[in-house]
Amino acid sequence: MDKTNKTDIKSLTKAELSDELKQFDFPSFRVDQIYDWLHIKFADSFDEMTNVSKDMRKLLAEYFEIKTVKIAKKLVSEIDSTRKYLFELNDGEYIESVLMKYKYGYSICVSTQVGCNMGCKFCASTLNGCVRSLEPSEILSQLYAASKDISQRISHIVLMGMGEPLDNFDNVLKFIELVTNKDGVNLSARNITLSTCGIVPKIKLLADMNLPITLSVSLHAPVDELRSKTMPVNNKWGIDEVLAACKDYANKTSRRVSFEYAMIKGVNDSAECAEQLAGLLSGMLAHVNLIPVNNVEENSFIRSDDSSIKEFENILKSKHIAVTVRRTLGADINASCGQLRRSNQNKRR
């Protein structure tokens, strides 16, 4: 008989798996075998575990669930081979991931929630709120499925897909623990970037943990009045509080904090905004990433002209603020998160 609430086996560390398997009296080498199947060979079912006996596989399937993501749709950019995946979860929900190729290797942008509750006005992921948070296994599975798809190692992860990672704090931390573990894909924590809209108490908690990951904060405006117009979260924690938490993070971890700044025509792209932003970040261990805003069908935000972006960049540079303009990857496949899931939802309606 199947257990009704099956344990999510891919969210377990090796020590936790070993504890769970004690009830079956398996020899201890089975723990290594099963963990390898899940986290090295990326098995999606117990039936794939061919060096485990059939009886054992049956027993495992009765007690455990392997959470997977299935490729429901894949778009490959003809310009730069960026891949955008629409993944289906075991319960039929959909999430998105984007795989990008850089000089230093592959980087995947993964989702942490189905939808999002943060309500940023320019973002397609949040239009219908958050359906649920992802389990650690479901965040891992995005990396595993994409690695399998390209048959290559992916060395960098950005938690910058659908959802707010700090609104799914425990599962995101467990994911980081699993993905950096030497028993699994053994990714360097330095190659992980976590992006947040600015949930201050959670930034503080993260700083205290002193993990060598990069914190990226979606700022998008240099003054509260403007930021609150597009980012409701700013009504709870204003820019001063967010920046104080970032300084604390940089001091405790000695890591440079990144600030995302989506350039929206006529909204936040003036020379005055650039001066204000430079003033805010002056003297801080920081880096600004300017992102031409992606057009989303449901809203009316338009990307800034290249000339305004250049001017904005130059002002920051002249004030000695480290700044880069994000290269637009996958422009032909609409590779910004939330949009593929929405078009899929709209079609099914």
Which of residues 60 and 125 has its CB atom nearest to ligand SAH in the complex? 125
Which of residues 291 and 309 has its CB atom nearest to ligand SAH in the complex? 291
Cα diameter, the chain: 69
At residue 122, the 3 state secondary structure works out as coil
Q: Does 96 bind ligand SAH (CB under 6 A)?
A: no
Burial class, 270, CB count within 10 angstroms (exposed 0-12 / middle 13-18 / buried 19+): middle
Report yes or no: 189 and 211 within 8 Å, Cβ to Cβ. Answer: yes
Pick one of 211, 239, 262, 277: the residue that binds ligand SAH (CB under 6 A). Answer: 262
Piece of the chain touching ligand SAH by CB under 6 A; list 10-18, 90-98, 243-251, 287-295? 287-295
Which of residues 44 and 82 has its CB atom nearest to ligand SAH in the complex? 82
Instruction: For residue 13, give every residue at least 6 positions away whose Cβ sits within 8 Å of its Cβ, in sequence order, or none.
Output: 177, 178, 181
Which of residues 32 and 224 has its CB atom nearest to ligand SAH in the complex? 224
Rounded least distance, CB 290 to ligand SAH, Å: 10
Piece of the chain touching ligand SAH by CB under 6 A; list 27-35, 116-124, 181-189, 201-209? 116-124
Q: Which of residues 289-348 bind ligand SAH (CB under 6 A)?
A: 291, 293-294, 296, 336
Question: Can you read off the two tokens belonging to residue 270?
Answer: 């003036």
Piece of the chain touching ligand SAH by CB under 6 A; list 61-69, 120-128, 178-186, 241-249? 120-128
Rounded least distance, CB 174 to ligand SAH, Å: 18
Rounded least distance, CB 296 to ligand SAH, Å: 5
- The DSSP secondary structure of 183-235, one letter per residue, reads TTT---GGGEEEEES--HHHHHHHHHHT-SPEEEEE---SSHHHHHHH-GGGG
| Distance, CA of 114 to CA of 125 (rounded, Å) | 8
Burial class, 29, CB count within 10 angstroms (exposed 0-12 / middle 13-18 / buried 19+): exposed
Q: Does 140 bind ligand SAH (CB under 6 A)?
A: no
HEC letters along 32-95: HHHHHHHHCCCCCCHHHCCCCCHHHHHHHHHHEECCCEEEEEEEECCCCCCEEEEEEECCCCEE
Which of residues 264 and 278 has its CB atom nearest to ligand SAH in the complex? 264
Rounded least distance, CB 276 to ligand SAH, Å: 19
Rounded least distance, CB 109 to ligand SAH, Å: 8
Which of residues 157 and 262 has its CB atom nearest to ligand SAH in the complex? 262
Catalytic residue list: 96, 337
Q: Which residues pair with 324 in a beta bridge?
A: 289
| Distance, CA of 186 to CA of 109 (rounded, Å) | 17
Q: Does 164 bind ligand SAH (CB under 6 A)?
A: yes
Pick one of 68, 97, 196, 214: the residue that binds ligand SAH (CB under 6 A). Answer: 196
Pick one of 17, 120, 178, 309: the residue that binds ligand SAH (CB under 6 A). Answer: 120
Rounded least distance, CB 121 to ligand SAH, Å: 9
Binding residues for ligand SAH, per CB under 6 A?
A: 118, 120, 122-123, 160, 164, 195-197, 218, 260, 262, 291, 293-294, 296, 336
